Amino acid sequence: MTHFPFIFNDHKKTAKERESQSIIPSPLELQSARRYIGAMNDPRPMESDLAMRLGQDGRSVTVAAPAKINLFLKVLGKRPDGYHDILSWFQTLDLADRIEIHKTAGGNIDLVSDHPTLPVGPDNLICKAAKAIQDNYTPNIGFRIILNKRIPIGAGLGGGSSDAAAVIKGLNHMMGLGLTVSQMAAIGLEIGSDIPFFFSRGQAEVTGRGERVKEIDLPVDYQAVLVTPPFEIRAAEAYRKLNLDLTVKELDVSLRCRKAHELFDVISELANDLERALLISYPILDKVRDGLIKTGANIVRLTGSGPTIFALYGDTAPDAEELTPRFWGERWGVHLTRPVILPA
């Protein structure tokens, strides 16, 4: 088991700044999101190989950045620093972004993406990850990074954090830096609090404010359907709506699951503590949750601070194309995925 006792480092914006931003999409944002969701639902299969691939000339590397879900998320209390202690199980999925990194001359870091609205400037976590490696290990070398985006942004699926971790791993491999997992995770933590998890094998118990990552072994013999709307819910908004009086203060979560049905039994007794208030604030999410329950899912839950809702199936899951019409009036993205264990 690997354990990273890291200190939490929040994202670039303060909670107050995030709270001041509107969580309702503008017409232009919604139009762009609809175009992008159409691309995400393209039936062409994604490359499922999560292993890194070094270019023949040694000047490029291709790496996948998988999404994650919170199998459960317990909020144990508010800390004196204003953040919250959590307990959660994270699981990576085979839904993944694809990143190509090319070594260039001149020292510039350039990011291009197929996402219609994703910012590609220095504040993007990918650029921050590449800059951290450049500043510390490769000061005279530049990088051109090509992002093929398939994980919905701002959806509680960890796409930005996974992308940043993938860049750190890819540059470590391409440049032969020899960084250990702990060293890479520490670099990631300086950029964002969720990044260290993506240096695990893809299954972890995450505690503290999110800075403590302990690898665990969970079954993967199930499927997951993800349903994602074309708008974001800010984490600060979700935590502000939380009623701590309704959360469990102490938990003893037993790792007694070897098969999917055992995992479902364990996590069915738990929940996402952020879910209750968000389903009230966003009735459409409650409607989608009910629709997924009617498909025979074993578990239906919000992941992270949302807005993605996932459904777990131990047997045969509905086809994504079959489910899509149920939500297409709202232009929601629908993905059929499987849990994966990441390469060492």
Question: Looking at the annotation, which residues are catalytic?
Answer: 68, 194
327 backbone dihedrals φ, ψ, rounded to 5°: -115, 0
CB 150 within 8 A of CB 130: no
Bridge partners for 101 per DSSP: 61, 145
Q: 133, 112, 125: which is closest to 177 by C-alpha?
A: 133
Q: Provide the 10 A C-beta neighbour count for residue 175.
A: 19
Which burial class, exposed, middle or buried, applies to 213 when counting CB atoms under 10 A from its CB (0-12, 13-18, 19+)? buried
Stated as kind and residue range, the H or E segment containing 160 is helix 159-174
Quote the tokens at residue 261. 């049905």
Measured N-to-C along each axis, helices 125-137 and 181-189 cross at an angle, to the nearest 10 degrees, of 120
* Amino acid, res. 91: Q
Letter string b/e over residues 81-90, b meaning 16 or more CB atoms within 10 A of that residue's CB: eebbbbbbbb
d(CA 158, CA 88): 14
The sign of the dihedral angle between the CA atoms of 40, 44, 50, 53 is negative
CA distances in angstroms from 220 to 92, 93, 147, listed in the order given: 10, 10, 27
